[in-house]
């Protein structure tokens, strides 16, 4: 029980042990430990290691484990490893890989190596790979495997049962067999459960579920995931435009998509790429993150430029300079709460034309309520702290305005971005902060200028 269930602690402990062995130069010991570690744990170990350690570990792993480990690695770590492998070794590692993983690995290669790997493959693998590569990486065709078992409608269940017994083993995660006609067109499916429970003398055509539709090969992967979630599928057939059966998608690949999609929003909101590898080399990471910092610098300078318009009053009253950050900061927080919720609701398919107006109304109402509460509070704090009721009133007014603006911007910015096909998770935050900064500063310093000069 322990070995199975505290997996995670085990993996962490193993990482520690392997690292200790490596650090003390005990490579033979480390190799033996790695030999006894399942592929999914070696993958975790690689993902949790800095670049140099990664290279050493990869050297120590048995070559015939390479394929299994590559399948388990996350995209970016996988890429960093296959780029350093010799083409023959890579071809050997990909032997017998699932079609989708095979295509995935090949896509990560520079063109000359790619051609070489393709050449060193056996013809069946090459064919499968070329088929999968003809579809977009993020489509049903790019996710599918070709290990389907197909039946003809006119045979009896009894024949099917004998056939399966002869076959001896079914591909992993097989819960259904697919029924195709003479032209390979998908016409229905039979679950293993029904094979086990129906009368064996019946024909496949009498037992099969015929009202099932295959997934078109060019459907986006996130849509595939939604279908799986809605219908609680374990596997589903993939078809081409002519309804010909091409392969199948299994739930384990869908789970990866679901996790990636859910993490995508969080990473995008921090201006990070999807697959950012925590242990990527310093320069790679620094370059990636600098893009977002550049965008933010522009925003920050814009806010400074707005403050700069009020230089006169700032020069007269240092207290305004001190309080100037409070209103933009609160607006930014309130706005990003709304933005986060709307982005999530969009991803779940909850936002439509009919409810977005209601939502804007709701967020404005929340802005008004919270604006009023924090306006009163901040006025009281400022009045007590700085003994100045006028400035307390001014900051209260600015707070109210900015929380209303934040609520409005938090809903409308993602709606507008989506209409222009821009990812709201990626761009929404910066635009929102710009709005709340500018409105906050204008409302505070502008009102102060009107009333105090």
Considering only residues 38 through 97, tell me which ones interact with its own copies, judged by CB under 8 A.
40, 44, 47-50
Does residue 97 contact residue 68 with C-beta atoms inside 8 Å? no
Among 33, 133, 366, 396, binds its own copies (CB under 8 A): 366
What gap in Å lies between CA 313 and CA 320, rounded to an integer? Answer: 8
Binding flag, residue 358, its own copies (CB under 8 A): yes
Read off the tokens for 365.
């109402």
Does 342 contact its own copies by CB under 8 A? yes
Near its own copies by CB under 8 A: residue from 168, 182, 201, 421: 168
Binding residues for its own copies restricted to 380-419, rule: CB under 8 A = 381
Question: Which of the stretches 62-70, 120-128, 202-210, 248-256 binds its own copies when contact is defined by CB under 8 A?
Answer: 248-256
Residues recorded for the chain: 453
Candidate residues 34, 359, 408, 426; the one interacting with its own copies per rule CB under 8 A: 359
For its own copies, the closer of residues 45 and 82 by Cβ is: 45
Q: Which stretch in 55-63, 103-111, 113-121, 264-272 sits in contact with its own copies by CB under 8 A?
A: 264-272
Distance (Å, whole) CA 12 – CA 15: 5
**Closer residue to its own copies (CB): 1 or 63:** 1
The yes or no reply on residue 10 touching its own copies (CB under 8 A) is no
For its own copies, the binding residue among 56, 86, 286, 451 (CB under 8 A) is 286
Q: Based on the shown chain and the rule CB under 8 A, indicate whether residue 349 belongs to the binding site for its own copies.
A: yes
Q: List, in sequence order, every residue forming a beta bridge with 236; answer none if it has no partner.
A: 249
Stretch that binds its own copies, among 82-90, 95-103, 114-122, 332-340 (CB under 8 A): 332-340
> What is the helix (H) or strand (E) element at residue 107, kind and residue range?
helix 99-107
- Residue 259 binding its own copies, by CB under 8 A: yes
Which of residues 136, 175, 388, 423 is near its own copies by CB under 8 A?
A: 175
CA-based nearest residue to 239, from 229, 230, 248, 231: 248
Kindly determine how many residues on this chain lie close enough to bind its own copies according to the rule CB under 8 A: 130
Separation between Cα atoms, residue 76 and residue 234, nearest integer Å:
27
* Residue 382: both structure tokens together: 């400022």
Helices (H), ranges, 36-86: 39-47, 51-60, 66-72, 75-82
Q: Is 421 helix (H, G, I), strand (E, B) or coil?
A: coil
* Nearest approach, Cβ of residue 248 and its own copies (Å): 14
Task: Report 199-228 residues binding its own copies (CB under 8 A).
Answer: 199, 212-213, 215-216, 219, 223, 226-228
Q: 242-273 b/e with 16+ CB inside 10 Å = b?
A: ebbbbbbbbbebbeebbebeeebbebbbebbe
| x-or-dash string of contact with its own copies, 120-159, rule CB under 8 A | ----------------------------------------
Contact between 111 and its own copies by CB under 8 A: the answer reads: no
Nearer to its own copies, 59 or 197 (CB): 197
In the complex, the smallest distance separating the C-beta of residue 78 from its own copies, rounded to whole angstroms, is: 15
User: Which listed residue (352, 419, 420, 421) binds its own copies by CB under 8 A?
Assistant: 352
- Cα–Cα dist 412/163, whole Å: 59
Q: Is the dihedral of CA 122, 125, 127, 132 positive or negative?
A: negative
Alpha-carbon span 223 to 215, nearest angstrom: 10
* 290-309: contacts with its own copies (CB under 8 A): 290, 292-293, 296-297, 299-301, 303-304, 307-308
Kindly tell me which residue out of 28, 86, 170, 451 binds its own copies, with binding defined by CB under 8 A.
170
Q: Which is nearer to its own copies, 91 or 323 (CB)?
A: 323
What residues from 19 to 38 belong to the interface with its own copies (CB under 8 A)?
A: 19-20
Q: For residue 145, which phi and psi values (nearest 5 degrees)?
A: -110, 160
Please count the other Cβ atoms lying within 10 Å of the Cβ belonging to residue 84: 10
Q: If we measure between CA atoms, which residue out of 167, 184, 181, 195 comes closest to residue 247?
A: 184
Q: Is 237 exposed, middle or buried (0-12, 13-18, 19+ CB in 10 A)?
A: buried
| Shortest Å, Cβ 163 to its own copies | 10
Residues whose CB is less than 8 angstroms from the CB of residue 283 and which lie 6 or more positions away in sequence, other chains included: none
CB of 137 to its own copies, least distance (A): 20
Span interacting with its own copies, options 29-37, 108-116, 280-288, 414-422, rule CB under 8 A: 280-288
- Judged by CB, which is closer to its own copies: 276, or 388? 276
């Amino acid at each position: 029980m322990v070995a199975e269930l505290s997996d995670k602690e085990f993996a962490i402990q193993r990482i520690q042990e392997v690292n200790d062995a490596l650090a003390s130069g005990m490579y033979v010991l480390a190799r033996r430990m790695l030999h006894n570690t399942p592929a999914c744990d070696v993958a975790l170990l690689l993902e949790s290691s800095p670049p140099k350690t990664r290279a050493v570990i990869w050297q120590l792993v048995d070559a015939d484990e390479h394929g299994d480990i590559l399948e388990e690695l996350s995209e970016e770590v996988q890429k960093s490893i296959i780029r350093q492998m010799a083409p023959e070794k890579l071809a050997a590692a990909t032997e017998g890989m699932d079609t989708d993983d095979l295509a995935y690995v090949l896509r990560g290669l520079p063109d000359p190596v790619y051609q070489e790997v393709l050449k060193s493959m056996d013809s069946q693998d090459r064919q499968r790979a070329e088929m999968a590569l003809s579809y977009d990486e993020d489509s049903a065709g790019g996710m599918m495997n070709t290990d389907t078992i197909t039946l003809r409608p006119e045979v009896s269940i009894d024949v099917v049962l004998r056939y399966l017994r002869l076959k001896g083993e079914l591909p992993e995660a097989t819960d259904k067999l697919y029924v195709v006609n003479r032209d390979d067109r998908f016409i229905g499916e039979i679950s293993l459960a029904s094979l086990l429970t129906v009368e064996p003398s019946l024909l496949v055509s009498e037992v099969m579920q015929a009202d099932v539709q295959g997934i078109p090969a060019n459907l986006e992967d996130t849509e595939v995931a939604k279908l799986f979630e809605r219908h609680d599928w374990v596997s589903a057939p993939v078809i081409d435009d002519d309804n010909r059966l091409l392969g199948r998608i299994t739930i384990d690949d869908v789970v990866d998509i679901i996790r990636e999609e859910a993490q995508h929003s969080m990473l995008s909101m921090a201006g990070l790429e999807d697959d950012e590898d925590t242990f990527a080399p310093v320069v790679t990471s620094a370059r990636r993150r600098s893009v977002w910092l550049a965008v933010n610098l522009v925003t920050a300078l814009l806010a400074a430029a707005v403050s700069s318009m009020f230089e006169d009053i700032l020069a007269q009253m240092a207290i305004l300079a001190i309080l100037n950050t409070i209103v933009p900061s609160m607006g930014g927080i309130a706005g990003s709460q709304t933005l986060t919720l709307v982005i999530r609701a969009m991803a779940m398919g909850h936002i439509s034309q009919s409810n977005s107006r209601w939502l804007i109304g709701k967020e404005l109402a929340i802005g008004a309520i919270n604006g009023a509460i924090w306006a009163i509070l901040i006025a009281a704090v400022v009045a007590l702290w700085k003994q100045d009721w006028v400035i307390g009133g001014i900051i209260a007014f600015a707070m109210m305005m900015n929380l209303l603006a934040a609520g409005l911007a938090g809903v409308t910015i993602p709606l507008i971005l989506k209409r222009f096909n821009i990812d709201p998770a990626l761009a929404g935050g910066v635009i929102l902060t710009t709005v709340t900064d500018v409105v906050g500063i204008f409302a505070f310093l502008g009102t102060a200028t009107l009333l105090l000069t």
